[in-house]
Amino acid sequence: MKNELYNKSILITGGTGSFGKAFVRYLLNLKKKDAPRRIVVFSRDELKQFEMAKDISQEKYSNIRYFLGDVRDKPRLNIALADIDYVVHAAALKQVSISEYNPMEFIKTNVIGAQNLIETAYLNGVTKVIALSTDKASSPINLYGATKLCSDKLFVSANNLKSEFKKKLTSFSVVRYGNVFGSRGSVVPAFLKQIEKNQLEITNKDMTRFSITLKKSIEFVYECMFKSYGGEIFVPKIPSYKLLDLAAAISKKCKIRIVGTRPGEKIHEELISEHESEITYDVKTHLVIISEPSLGKIYLKNGAKKQKINESYNSSQNKVFLTTNELKKLIEDYKKQLII
Type of residue numbered 41: V
pLDDT for residue 337: 64
pLDDT for residue 306: 93
Report long-range pairs for 156-162 (Cβ below 8 Å, ≥24 apart).
156/231, 156/232, 156/233, 156/291, 158/118, 158/122, 158/129, 159/230, 159/231, 159/292, 161/122
Query: Are 183 and 214 within 8 A, CB to CB?
Result: yes
Return the DSSP state at 314: E
CA–CA separation, 50 vs 28, rounded Å?
18
308 is catalytic: no
> What does the angle CA 129 – CA 277 – CA 121 come to, to the nearest 5 degrees?
10
CA–CA separation, 259 vs 204, rounded Å?
7
Phi, psi of 113, deg, nearest 5: -60, -40
Please name the residues in contact with 292: beta carbons below 8 A apart, sequence gap of 6 or more.
159, 231
Query: Are 27 and 35 within 8 A, CB to CB?
Result: yes
pLDDT for residue 339: 45
pLDDT for residue 166: 64
Concatenate the DSSP letters of all residues of 289-301 into one string: EE--HHHHHHHHH
- pTM for the structure as a whole: 0.93
pLDDT for residue 168: 73
CA–CA separation, 148 vs 99, rounded Å?
12
pLDDT for residue 264: 80
**Which runs of E-coded beta strand occur in 83-221?**
86-89, 128-134, 171-177, 199-202, 208-210
Chunked into runs of 10 residues, the chain (340 residues) has average pLDDT values of: 83 96 96 94 97 95 97 98 97 93 97 98 96 96 96 96 72 94 81 88 92 94 95 97 94 88 87 95 95 93 91 93 95 71
9-178+211-237+271-317 in CATH: which number? 3.40.50.720
CA–CA separation, 258 vs 294, rounded Å?
49
- Other CB atoms within a 10 A radius of the CB of residue 270 amount to 23
Catalytic residue among 21, 94, 128, 136: 136
pLDDT for residue 1: 53
Q: How far is CA 246 from CA 147, 317, 329, in A?
A: 29, 18, 11
